[in-house]
Amino acid sequence: MSFCVAIDGPAAAGKGTVSRAVAESFGFAYLDTGLLYRATGAKTFEGLSPIEAATTLAAEDLDRDDLRSGDAGQAASRVAAIPEVREALIDFQRAFARRTGGAVLDGRDIGTVICPDAKVKLYITASDEVRAQRRFAELTAAGEDTTFEKVLSDLRERDERDSARATAPLKPADDAVVIDTSDMSIAEAVAQVVRLIQQKTV
């Protein structure tokens, strides 16, 4: 039986950490859909057009070690505004969502476009400053030379672009539960999400 958990929200809100923990706790498969857009964006660094990059995306493209960089995040957000790029990535995501044994997908349009019938829909958010602080810590731990101010302005620029685009903009699905993790530990956020899923699985 398939059981899809859709987790959307702005950049660095804690979606990935919560999704991984929830997938592990229920034995569901996990797909970080942002990685598909990051890999597509990163392929454009080598001169491919965004549409070529998306239509030729292969498993090995997801193994690049620069996908978590700030530049890859910005490139991802730019290519993600192109309808043909989104279209090229839909079938893979929908097939993943339907897999037997359950799936957690995180991104921007999972509850609205990819998996509108998801059993559980969440929109995980946090204040701009808290999100920038978390992303700044991640990037510096990975060796990127950056500042808190740059991370904050990049994140705001990306959220603005992701929310304003015409196709599949970032927004909570009407039936999503919104969780603000600004004043919450990741453990608290995971516990809340686990409870919500348990209510739907009994």
Q: Do 27 and 102 contact (CB within 8 A), yes or no?
A: yes
Distance CA 35, CA 78 (A): 14
Residue range at the interface with ligand DC (CB under 6 A); choices 29-37, 43-51, 57-65, 124-132 = 29-37
By CB under 6 A, what part of segment 70-129 binds ligand DC?
A: 73, 76-77, 80, 107-109
Among 34, 50, 102, 111, binds ligand DC (CB under 6 A): 34
115, burial (CB in 10 Å: exposed 0-12, middle 13-18, buried 19+) = buried
Torsion of CA 80, 28, 185, 16, to 10 degrees: -20
Tell me the site size for ligand DC, rule CB under 6 A: 14
Q: How far is the CB of 71 from ligand DC (least distance, A)?
A: 12
Q: 3-class SS at 4?
A: strand
Q: How far is the CB of 195 from ligand DC (least distance, A)?
A: 24
Element (H, E) at 75: helix 70-79
* 154 is an interface residue for ligand DC by CB under 6 A: no
Q: Do 141 and 197 contact (CB within 8 A), yes or no?
A: no
Element (H, E) at 166: none
Among 33, 44, 112, 181, binds ligand DC (CB under 6 A): 33
* 139 is an interface residue for ligand DC by CB under 6 A: no
Closer CB to ligand DC, 34 or 102, in the complex: 34
Question: Interface with ligand DC by CB under 6 A: which residues?
Answer: 11, 33-34, 37-38, 73, 76-77, 80, 107-109, 158, 162
